[in-house]
Homo-oligomer: A and B are copies of this chain.
Amino acid sequence: MTSRPPLHCLRCARAAEGFAGCRTCAAEGIGVNTMPPLADLAGADLAGYPGGPWGLPTALPVSGPPVTLGEGNTPCIRLRTGPERPQDGASAGELWLKYEGGNPTGSHKDRAMAVGVAAAVTAGAGTVVAASSGNAGAAAAAYAARAGVRCVVFTNEKVPAGLRAQIDALGAERRVHPGSTAARNAAMAEAVEEHHWYPLTSYSSPSPGGNPYANEGYKSVAYELARDFAGRRIDVVVVPTSRADLLAGIGRGFRELAAAGLIAHEPRLVAAEPSAAEPSAAAPFTAALRCPDRADQERTRVAARPTVAFSLGEERPCWQGLDALWRTAGTAVALDDEAIGAERRRLAAQGLILEPSSAVGSAVARDLARTPGTLVVAIGTATGLKGLAG
């Protein structure tokens, strides 16, 4: 427990304990995560990196034994661009999809939960707890089972049948909280503070955006891309974004690679958000980046609305995501349900079934890849198989 590196607020740099993010920034209405220092990758052999969070264990803030189900090392697939036929896209940029649906439970969340559960075990936890309406809950359940610790998942009625069945099959205890996010947060806070359960997701408001140790698992997405595109310049990485845990983790991975001289250039990061009918509803990063100054961007609040991309849809931009976008001169783009549906059909026509919130990324990336000579990677966060028979 004592071997974990200290956490500091990403925004105000104050040291912090626990998993509620920075309380000082929260008092200003801003949800900021507290994180360990960046890892020093100097001397790392990227060509020999086997992929996954445990492939570069010194990059992780966890000292105990790995918990693994073979997560990570997912394929990066070149997508056809242009209207319909391959030859039409010949003069445009390159569009690639990093397919995270190939992970053991079917989503990118496996990278985080592998590390988060290992951190929990190292901390001596007997029970882990996650609040999730979807993939994070399934991943938490799987890695807890793998490590032999008890798992409780706080969820709501909107969880699709496939995910519910997955969480149940993995032996997690599912507690349905029909109430507000605030009520669910309160229940989870009680579990953490009274019962000393280890939290794999956030439970404070505004949300800091995930367990800091778990989130470090996402850095491996950047390492794998740098390895696979060895020496080639990746111009843009588009990330489906809700609380920006994946976005921020990928950004940190690229920063570490650049600091160690392992890449010459950090890609521009783009947050892809689903939006409801009103342009900015449920798309806090897109709304925030319309404000000219950062103080207003940090305090943006939008209406949360249901979209087909059920696993996304936040009211505020988690600060860790803004930070990642600012550092790379990135941006955010919101798409409505119709555009997401069209992209899902386009992906299926190339042999790929992704969940709606994953298709947001490749739809946004598809537009950016129209620029000739540009290399754009979309993160396809999760398989669409879970929802097919639901």
Q: Which residues of A contact B (CB under 8 A)?
A: 68-71, 73-77, 85-86, 99, 101-106, 141-146, 148, 160-162, 165-166, 169-171, 348-353, 383-390
Taking the closest CB of chain B, its distance from the CB of A128, in whole angstroms, is 13
Taking the closest CB of chain B, its distance from the CB of A108, in whole angstroms, is 13
Which residue of chain B has the shortest Cβ distance to A388 in the bound complex? B165
Q: When the two chains form the complex, which single residue of B86, B99, B166 contacts A385, counting CB atoms closer than 8 Å? A: B166
Query: Do A162 and B350 touch across chains, with their CB atoms under 8 A apart?
Result: no
Residues of B within 8 A of A145 (CB): 348-351
Residues of B within 8 A of A75 (CB): 69-71, 73, 104
Which A-B residue pairs are the 10 nearest by beta carbons?
A70-B75, A146-B351, A142-B351, A162-B389, A165-B388, A161-B389, A145-B351, A389-B390, A102-B102, A389-B389
Query: Do A77 and B73 touch across chains, with their CB atoms under 8 A apart?
Result: no
Query: Do A170 and B348 touch across chains, with their CB atoms under 8 A apart?
Result: yes
Which residue of chain B has the shortest Cβ distance to A139 in the bound complex? B351
Question: 26 interchain pairs (CB within 8 A)?
Answer: A68-B77, A69-B352, A70-B74, A70-B76, A70-B77, A70-B102, A71-B75, A85-B148, A86-B148, A101-B104, A102-B103, A106-B383, A106-B385, A143-B351, A146-B350, A162-B385, A165-B389, A169-B348, A169-B353, A169-B384, A170-B348, A171-B348, A171-B349, A383-B385, A385-B385, A386-B389
Taking the closest CB of chain B, its distance from the CB of A329, in whole angstroms, is 30
Tally of this chain's copies: 2
Taking the closest CB of chain B, its distance from the CB of A170, in whole angstroms, is 6
Taking the closest CB of chain B, its distance from the CB of A346, in whole angstroms, is 11
Taking the closest CB of chain B, its distance from the CB of A103, in whole angstroms, is 7
Taking the closest CB of chain B, its distance from the CB of A349, in whole angstroms, is 6
Residues of B within 8 A of A387 (CB): 389
Taking the closest CB of chain B, its distance from the CB of A122, in whole angstroms, is 16
Bound CA–CA A102/B70 (angstroms): 9
Query: Do B353 and A170 touch across chains, with their CB atoms under 8 A apart?
Result: yes
Query: Do B74 and A99 touch across chains, with their CB atoms under 8 A apart?
Result: no
Bound CA–CA A155/B161 (angstroms): 26
Taking the closest CB of chain B, its distance from the CB of A5, in whole angstroms, is 27
Residues of B within 8 A of A106 (CB): 383, 385
> Contacts A145-B349, A146-B350 given; 20 further ones with Cβ under 8 A?
A69-B351, A73-B75, A75-B104, A86-B148, A99-B104, A102-B103, A104-B352, A105-B351, A142-B351, A144-B351, A145-B348, A145-B350, A145-B351, A146-B351, A162-B388, A169-B353, A170-B351, A386-B389, A387-B389, A388-B389
Which residue of chain B has the shortest Cβ distance to A52 in the bound complex? B75
Residues of B within 8 A of A161 (CB): 388-389
Bound CA–CA A353/B141 (angstroms): 11
Q: Which of A76, A103, A351, A388 has the most CB of B within 10 A?
A: A351
Given contacts A77-B70, A86-B148, contact A389 B160 (CB under 8 A): yes
Residues of B within 8 A of A350 (CB): 145-146
Residues of B within 8 A of A70 (CB): 74-77, 99, 102
Residues of B within 8 A of A351 (CB): 69, 104-105, 141-146, 170
